[in-house]
Every structure is written in C-alpha cells, then in structure tokens.
Amino acid sequence: MLDLSRVQKELVDCNRDKSSGVSIDLVGDQLSHLAGTISGPIGTPYEGGVFRIDIRLPDGYPFEPPKMQFVTKVWHPNISSQNGAICLDILKDQWSPALTLKTALLSLQALLSAPEPDDPQDAVVAQQYLRDYPTFLGTARYWTEAFARRVSIGTEEKVQKLVEMGFPEALVRTTLENAGGDENMALEKLCSG
Amino acid sequence: MVRNLGWHPVASWTWDAQDETCGICRMAFDGCCPDCKFPGDDCPLIWGACNHAFHLHCILKWVNSQTPQPHCPMCRREWQFKG
Ligand SMILES: [Zn+2]
Ligand SMILES: [Zn+2]
Ligand SMILES: [Zn+2]
C-alpha cells in the first residue's frame, strides 16, 4: 500500500521551498501519479529551460523507488533522447526510503549539470559529447530552446485550469492551440460548445 | 548507470525536523507509524548500531525488502539492530 500521508507531506514540503528550482504537482486525483518540474541549471546548455518529469509511485513507495522519466525532450548522455528514460543509481538499486521525491528531482538537476558520458543511457548523445563537444553543446542548447522553454509550462498550467473547470483534456488542448494559447479566447470557444 | 553522483550523505538531505520524525514514514516519533492508526497501538522505536532510530514496523518493512544485506536508510551503513 502506497504511504499516502508521506506523499502528501512530501508535496507540501517540496513546494514550500520555492528556491530549490524543483516542484511537484498532482496530475489527476491520484497521489500515485505526479509531475515534477526542474529548472535547467545555470551555466549549462539546459539553462533557461523547464523540464517536466513524469513520476509514478509504485505501491511499495517509499520502500521502492519512484519511477521517473523526462517528458520534456532533452539532449543529454544519461537521458534517452527517444523516450526520456533515465539511468540513475538512486532511482534503482541505491534508493533509500530516507530519500524523497524532492531529493530525487534535485539529483536529476545535478545530473543535468554533470553528465557521465562514460556510462550512457543514450549512446548517440554520449558519442557526440565525447567526440565533438561543441556540437553537443549546440544541440543540447537547441533542444532546450525548442522543447523546454518556460512558455510550454505556461500552456500546461492553462490546460490544467481549463480541465479543472470540467472540459475534457484533449478538447482543451486543441482549442487552446487554435486560440494561439489565449486562455480567455479558448474558454469562450469551449463554453460556446 | 550513473553512480555516486557527488553522493551526499543521505542525512544532509533530510527534512527539517529529522530528529523527531521517522526517516522512513516521516511521522513523528511520539506518534505511530502509518500502519498503526490508533495512538496507543504498540508501535515501538528501535535503534540501529549506527544510532539511527525508526519505528520498528517501518524498519522491518525496509529490512525485509532488502536482500541480501540491508542498509540503514539514513547513513547506508550495514543495518544491525542495536543490541
Ligand atoms: Zn516510521
Ligand atoms: Zn507501527
Ligand atoms: Zn544509520
């Protein structure tokens, strides 16, 4: 059984600390499915980006590690450029129940600052990192610019707001897109059916 | 797999009131673990050889899930019950 009281405490604890650069939100009404956000560390090609992490809590949490995966596309040797899979020891065999979702997200942030190309999750990215570092930096920066800009997070918040008003998510997304991201215009369209 | 990412001792990561709360379930030591809903249930504290304390019920769950050698959740030393 998932320890719900602990997860609730974790959410409060994490989101109270605004300075950490990481936060956790509910995705639906289940505490077992959460969304983390990490701001890209300054001085890295991920600076200026906001990265979204899908978090699934197994029933055994906190005795089993949370399952985390990048939703935002990211060009990094230790994160799959295909599906966002992460290979990090504390999310596998080095997990400890004294760790938290926040500390795991902070570890991911540290991983963005300190890639380990000798131990890759994405071999293509790792090869580029080792053989042609300037091109790696360029690509990583480009991906941050293209996929992780703050704007896209704004969109997620708008989507969430409209979904909370009772509109189906898929409809909200297309309407919002057609309205060029204008929340009020989208709401008008949604209400007029 | 990336290992030892500038490993910080787990203790430095923990919550504000770590001395009064169980590092596993985060409930206060003067209360009981999440499995023991009612105050007054027998939910004792137990210390490891490393001097880290947990609810007995919480550390047992962790120790039983770790094979072959369980480690203390706080300091990662081999877990041994303090004799
Ligand atoms: Zn406990
Ligand atoms: Zn108990
Ligand atoms: Zn210990």
Quote the pLDDT of residue B8.
Answer: 44
Query: Is B48 within 8 Å of chain A by CB?
Result: no
pLDDT score of A32 = 94
Residue A144: alpha-carbon gap to chain centroid: 13
Q: Reduced to 3 states, what is the DSSP secondary structure of residue A25?
A: strand
Q: Could you write out the three-class secondary structure of chain B?
A: CECCCCCCCHHHHCCCCCCCECCCCCCECCCCCCCCCCCCCCCCEEEECCCCEEEHHHHHHHHHHCCCCCECCCCCCECCECC
Half-sphere exposure of A158 (CA within 13 A, CB side): 22
What region does A180 belong to: left with phi over 0, alpha with psi -120 to 50, or beta? left
- Residues of A serving a catalytic function are 87
- Residue B75 has, within 13 A of its CA and on its CB side, a CA count of 12
Over range A38-64, report the average pLDDT.
95
Dmax over CA atoms of chain A, in Å, equals 56
Contact A50, A38 (CB under 8 A): yes
Kindly report the average pLDDT of chain A as a whole number.
Answer: 90
* A28-40 pLDDT per residue, tens: 888 999 999 999 9
Asked if B53 is an interface residue toward chain A (Cβ–Cβ < 8 A), one would say no
Q: Which CATH class name applies to B18-82?
A: alpha beta
Do the chains contact at B62 and A63, CB–CB below 8 Å? yes
User: Reduced to 3 states, what is the DSSP secondary structure of residue A70?
Assistant: strand
Tell me the C-alpha distance between A141 and A112, whole Å: 12
Helices (H) and strands (E) in chain A, counts: 7, 4
CA distance A122 to A77: 5
Distance B38 CA to ligand 2 centre (A): 9
pLDDT by 10-residue block (mean), chain B, 83 residues: 51 48 88 78 87 93 90 93 86
pLDDT tens per residue, range A85-125: 998 999 988 899 999 999 999 999 999 999 999 889 999 99
Chain A touched by B73 (CB under 8 Å) = yes
Which pLDDT score, from 0 to 100, does residue A180 have?
72
Ligand closest to B14 (CA) is 3
Answer whether B5 sits within 8 Å of A6, measured CB to CB.
no
Tokens of A145: 């610019």
- Side by side, which strands form the sheet with A50-56? A22-26, A33-39, A50-56, A67-70
